[in-house]
Amino acid sequence: MGTPAIELKNITKTFGPIVANKDVCLTVNKGEILSILGENGSGKTTLMNMISGIYFPDHGQIFINGEEVLIRSPKDAFKYKIGMIHQHFKLVDVFSATENIVLGLKDDGKYNLKASEKKIREITAQYGFELEPSKKIHEMSVSEKQTVEIIKVLYRGADILILDEPTAVLTPQETKKLFAVLRKMRDSGKAIIIITHKLHEVLSLSDRVSVLRKGEYIGTVNTAETSESELTEMMVGKKIELNIERTKVEETPDRLEIRKISCVNREGITLLNNISFTAKAGEILGIAGIAGSGQRELLESIAGLQKLNSGEILYHNPTTGYTENLRDKSPVKIKELGVRLSFVPEDRLGMGLVGNMDIIDNMLLRSYRRGKSAFLERKKPKDLANKIIEELEVVTPSAKTPVRRLSGGNVQKVLVGREIASSPTVLMVAYPVRGLDINSSYLIYNLLNKQKENGVAVIFVGEDLDVLIELCDRIMVINSGKITGIVDAENTTKEEIGLLMTKNDGGESHE
Amino acid sequence: MSKSASKSHEPLFHVVKRASIPLWQSLLIRAGAILAALIVAGLLTFFLTGLNPIDVYATMIDGAIGTEKRIWNLFQGIALLLCVSLAVTPAFKMKFWNIGAEGQALMGGLAAALCMILYSDKLSPAVLMLVMVVTSVVSGAVWALIPAIFKAKWNTNETLFTLMMNYIATQLVSYFSYKYSVPKGSGSIGIINSSTKIGWFPSILDQKYLLNIIIVVILTFILYVYLKHSKHGYEISVVGESENTAKYIGINVKKVIIRTMILSGAICGIAGLIMVAGTDHTIATDTVGGRGFTAIMVSWLAKFNPIMMFLTSFLIVFLEKGAIAISSEFDLNSSFSDIITGIIIFFIIGSEFFINYSIKFRESKKEAKSK
């Protein structure tokens, strides 16, 4: 292997009490592609942001070409020929590709678009990009915009390129093209770091893989000498005992039946691909998957917030015995059908609650329509608010405190408390313990278990595999909007789920 | 080049958003702001004109509330401004930036004026009054409904749209001013029905403005209850705070936008009616007189609370009337009164910053530690 282009030694970065990176060591050689692999929240992006000058490490050293350097700003990073391509593009829509690429450059006051365009054409020809430099950004596809971002850093002479989940927004064909370009850049001696959590991409593209888990550096392996299962184990770690009680489910009726639902967004990207499953009453169905695999769209389509292109959402009503199709019905319509559906969305303050309203008014969100009067009835919501504060031990000055002033755990208690207060038959929760301390987390787990015992069909979208395995009865794994497997939580392992989460588009058997 | 060099990036002070502020503290900040404004304006008066600031302020107060007639005029002014402010409030609470109150009120006024011109001799006074009320309310509502539909259906920018609607309203008024001008060709309508007083609001207890004031007081309470205790008002708050939450609980956001803008425009129409039938008895392009824009400030300063809006509109009208008295009494250019009003309002709005944010200075201890 070549000489090291960049070396990190014992890099540590903390944000308040949270350790984002702990003693991370990494080396990238010239002429190689290094993948950084890790689950959500494992500290990949934080680490790269320190190399590109957005954050400054608390401890540790960075060496470039063998010399220790301090990178305090993106400008410093550029000086050391480091270029980062972010997940979210930073381009001016009404400018052309060329204008965006030269934007901010100080060419001794010269502004010669013709010359710049010529240089851009040289770069595109050299690496095999497909780009028309005079095209405006707003006329471009996502992949073209990404190309502009990459050329932007190459134009500035970057020798070390960092790409943050570059394939997340690309179609498989575009991904192939990107990889071809990246290989060419590697062959011309550039050092390339790509952040990803797609195992098959790691294996097909990179020379070496470094794995991070919960902010810690786990190790680096040569791609040629590793396998998917080894990488998965490095990524998810050994099983941890959490001691969440799991009550046995008896044979219970089907409550919600999802039949072949698909959903394509306006850009033509498939969000949900032929998903079919059944949620039973008195059971917790876990949903595992890398963030953005379609979890949100799935829950929102059940809740009546997401239009579907095909499929059916069938609800078996236990009181009437009828079956209703909930597809494309509004939340109000669903409620009118007598479907008691509760939903704890991922975005608590932006969707589940209104941050500037107090706890009482947030209780009203679900019940304000009650009664024929044109005026609000605040007595019952007030009682409910006080009941939730007392029973769930919400720490708040009073029921009249705006919820945005509460801590994350207490906000979640208010939201979950409200959602289970309507005694639902289906309860959907998305990342209910994200950002919560251990005690609040267990309180939420117990609440969910209690709902399950009461015969509620609980759908739990989670990210911590240990929790999913201990809490849920069955776990459904999705990847890129497709089900890659439904496993029995008692007889599964983290490795199995991890593999399913990162499985290559091999879901044909489910179609 | 050591690590400590990088730590000294921390600036001398930084601004922190306050979680909450006790009521007495916020009142203290506001009172301090007014005091500071009076001192600055006083100093400026002294150095620019050589007048005694105390005299100037005394004149100001006298100009606003010196005689019974002035007090009535003050409250009439408050009523007009407050009425337009009430109109923009539901829209602003919904985060729909309706800056077209000027045009909406003008359309309401135009409708009332046209009714007075065209139907005075055709309808009985009572029926005419009814027709005036209905057409004013509808005209104002339609003027607000058009941008609302475009916003709901195609997500157009409501700020630009409502602003442009103002110009159309102004042009329409110019057209009719010319068409019905008295004398012909003068371009202004003049007092309508000055002898018969048909279509004029009646005087109550010999006070010509009392009816205007009563209407606005009633409207204020209705709007307060509507926003705070009605289901519609609750929906407006939810849509304004978070459209995602509104969708999540099944509020039809488009419907709420359209419904609220109809209400906003309708109240503007009433404001226009009061200006024409209860005040000017004529229509001109400057009938609304910028109140559509001042109303935005009144509404914001009162944090969209209709009862508080009485206080903010009182403050602004008081300053306006006082400022006019200064410029005539001391023979100063009218711009000078604008300067004083501007300074006072600047300080009051500026004080909101200190109510929402506190300033934290860099701790010297922390720096010592990092070195």
CB of B303 within 8 Å of a chain A CB? The answer is: no
- Please give the pLDDT value at position B265: 93
Judging contacts by C-beta atoms under 8 Å, the chain B residues touching residue A366 are 249
Report chain B's terminal Cα–Cα distance, integer Å: 13
- Please give the pLDDT value at position B143: 93
A374 and B231 in contact by Cβ < 8 A?
A: yes
Domains A4-236 and A254-340+425-510 share a fold: yes
Residue B2 has pLDDT above 50, yes or no: no
CA A161 to CA B188: how far, in whole Å?
Answer: 71
If we measure between CA atoms, which residue out of B108, B154, B103 comes closest to residue B133? B108
- Please give the pLDDT value at position A40: 67
If you ran DSSP here, which 8-state letter would residue A73 be given?
S
A376 and B19 in contact by Cβ < 8 A?
A: no
Does the domain formed by A4-236 have CATH 3.40.50.300? yes
A366 and B242 in contact by Cβ < 8 A?
A: no
**Residues 9..68 of A with a Cβ closer than 8 Å to B: which?**
56
Judging contacts by C-beta atoms under 8 Å, the chain B residues touching residue A10 are none
- Please give the pLDDT value at position A17: 65
What is the four-CA torsion angle of A223, A224, A230, A235, rounded to 10 degrees? 0
Query: Which stretch of DSSP H or E encloses residue A44?
Result: helix A44-51
Across the interface, of B19, B233, B247, the residue whose CB is closest to A405 is B19
Across the interface, of B6, B230, B249, the residue whose CB is closest to A70 is B6
- Architecture of domain A254-340+425-510 in CATH? 3-Layer(aba) Sandwich (3.40)
- Please give the pLDDT value at position B8: 39
Judging contacts by C-beta atoms under 8 Å, the chain B residues touching residue A301 are none
Judging contacts by C-beta atoms under 8 Å, the chain A residues touching residue B230 are 374-376
Mean pLDDT, chain B, rounded, equals 84
- Please give the pLDDT value at position B11: 56
pLDDT in tens, B175-216: 988 888 877 777 788 788 777 777 787 778 877 888 889 999
Smallest CA–CA distance from A302 into chain B, residue: B248
CB-based contacts of B219, cutoff 8 Å, min separation 6? B83, B86, B267, B270
| Structure token digits, residue B193 | 């029905």
Q: Between A and B, how many CB-CB pairs are < 8 A? A: 66
pLDDT in tens, B349-364: 888 888 877 777 755 5
| Structure token digits, residue B166 | 């103002």
pLDDT in tens, A193-203: 988 877 778 88
Residue B1 has pLDDT above 60, yes or no: no
Q: What percent of chain B has pLDDT over 90?
A: 31
- Please give the pLDDT value at position A369: 81
Residue B111 has pLDDT above 90, yes or no: yes
- Please give the pLDDT value at position B17: 67
CB of B369 within 8 Å of a chain A CB? The answer is: no
Phi, psi of A314 (to 5 degrees): -105, 135
Judging contacts by C-beta atoms under 8 Å, the chain B residues touching residue A364 are 234
CB-based contacts of A392, cutoff 8 Å, min separation 6? A413, A414, A416, A417, A443, A447
Across the interface, of B9, B232, B241, the residue whose CB is closest to A354 is B241
The interface predicted TM-score (ipTM) is 0.76
Confidence label for B56 from pLDDT (cuts 50, 70 and 90): confident
Smallest CA–CA distance from A406 into chain B, residue: B19
Q: What is the distance in angstroms between the Cα of B234 and the nearest Cα belonging to chain A?
A: 8
- Please give the pLDDT value at position A497: 85
CB of B17 within 8 Å of a chain A CB? The answer is: no
CB of B305 within 8 Å of a chain A CB? The answer is: no
Judging contacts by C-beta atoms under 8 Å, the chain B residues touching residue A341 are none
Bridge partners of residue A136, in order along the sequence = A96
A355 and B241 in contact by Cβ < 8 A?
A: yes
The domain segmentation of chain A, as residue ranges, is 4-236, 254-340+425-510, 351-422
CB of A366 within 8 Å of a chain B CB? The answer is: yes
pLDDT beneath 50, residues of chain A: 506-511
- Please give the pLDDT value at position A460: 92
